[in-house]
Amino acid sequence: MDSDSVFASVVRAPEDPILGVTVAYNKDTSPNKLNLGVGAYRTEEGKPLVLNVVRKAEQHLVNDKSQIKEYLPIVGLADFNKLSAKLIFGADSPAIQQNRVTTVQCLSGTGSLRVGAEFLAKHYHQRTIYIPTPTWGNHPKIFNLAGLSVKTYRYYDPATRGLNFQGLLEDLGAAPSGAIVLLHACAHNPTGVDPTLAQWEQIRQLMRSKGLLPFFDSAYQGFASGNLDADAQPVRTFVADGGECLAAQSYAKNMGLYGERVGALSIVCKTQDVASRVESQLKLVIRPMYSNPPIHGASIVATILKDSNMYNEWTVELKAMADRIISMRQQLYDALSAKGTPGDWSHIIKQIGMFTFTGLNSEQVAFMTKEYHIYMTSDGRISMAGLSSRTVPHLTDAIHAAVTRFG
């Protein structure tokens, strides 16, 4: 009997709005089903992709008898941390040369955000964080649980399907001095809308003049433009001014290491001494949470980043993924145009990164899932990486029917 259980009063929680889409997709028996929910890269054949360079690095690790499975230090693999900081801040970053960056290996992007948030909740004087509307659905949950108070700033304008730059400046301008501001480093999720470099510069000036603390979430470096340096440019301009910031990096997308949970948190400080004290406290955050991070994924990343041949091979494979996504945008846009689907769909080719924020409403999404077996998040976001030339016509038919029916 249920009532005999000490957990009888536990109520069923809803599925996660993003990962739950995959759960529903897996239950669907239709041969035409299509998962455009989770942001995970698929090939033209619709299959998950393990990069060749990752296979090569793994082979290299298997053959290397000096590789052991001991515990890593609390902060993770030293090489991985150094190389990760170089990847995001640039090889010639003065902040790195001056040893005022501390980097700790964390459990992918999510874990890096969580460790950073816990550190800020404990040691930073302003416990308010501003996140964009909309943003990745896990952001408010991560920051709330860590004990930060979450507020929002305007970001997306549904009317233009572009950036609400004026609203953003007003909201950050009205934020209390010292507040933390979560910024998507590139390829904003879910909107696919990024500020231009000139707008970034204005954001930087405003934030520095008010002493707002930037916390970058870099989950898509290389996925926006296909170029790792170009995608890191916004972060680098904030570091170049000598100010402080945090950055959470994920290798889930750009190395296809989703399930390896490999990422890094860097905190750029004013001086080497502050950085080393900050690191000592990060260890106290990590130790009771998961003690120390796993070794395999970080070893793959370090192997690739430190070998110039493998690094170059990676950039080629990364560019190919980014290019395939860009070509999917064009194909979907062309197909909707050819079909005469009502509405302006030019945002599909203007937005960047993994996602298109289609503007389809939850009723239209539910219709597409029920009638066409197309799975996506209810906010109308589709993962362009889940699409292929073969499935563009099916998606086009579904969007056309949804828009015509519930226009």
**Residue numbers of the site for ligand PGU (CB under 6 A)?**
18, 38-39, 108-110, 136, 138, 184, 189, 217, 219, 250, 252, 258, 263
Alpha helices in 94-242, H assignment, sequence order: 94-97, 108-123, 138-146, 165-173, 197-210, 228-240
Grouping H, G, I as helix, E, B as strand and the rest as coil, residue 131 is strand
CB 17 to ligand PGU: min, Å: 8
Residue with Cβ nearer ligand PGU (261 or 373): 261
Identity of the residue, 252 or 403, whose beta carbon is nearer to ligand PGU in the bound complex: 252
Q: Which is nearer to ligand PGU, 18 or 295 (CB)?
A: 18
Q: Please, what is the minimum distance in Å from the beta carbon of residue 252 to ligand PGU?
A: 4
Residues across the chain:
407
Cα(15)–Cα(30) distance, integer angstroms: 21
Residues 213-228 as b or e (16 or more Cβ within 10 Å = b) = bbbbbbbbbbbbbbeb
Structure tokens at 323: 């290019």
CB of 250 to ligand PGU, least distance (A): 3
- Torsion angle (degrees, nearest 10) of CA 372, 375, 377, 380: -40
Q: Which of 136, 171, 345, 379 is catalytic?
A: 136
Residue 22 CB, shortest distance to ligand PGU, in Å, is 9
136 counts as catalytic: yes
Which value, to the nearest 10 degrees, does the dihedral of the CA atoms of residues 221, 224, 225, 227 take?
Answer: 10
Q: What's the CA gap between 97 and 152, in Å, rounded? A: 35
Annotated active-site residue 314? The verdict is: no
Q: How far is the CB of 292 from ligand PGU (least distance, A)?
A: 18
CA distance 246 to 88: 11
> Which CB, 261 or 329, lies closer to ligand PGU?
261
The residue (of 83 and 403) whose beta carbon lies closer to ligand PGU is 83
Out of 253, 314, 345, 379, pick the active-site residue.
253
Which residues have C-beta within 8 Å of that of residue 239, sequence separation ≥ 6? Answer: 89, 93, 95, 245, 268
How many separate helices (H) and strands (E) can be counted in the chain?
15, 13
- Please identify every residue annotated as catalytic: 136, 217, 253
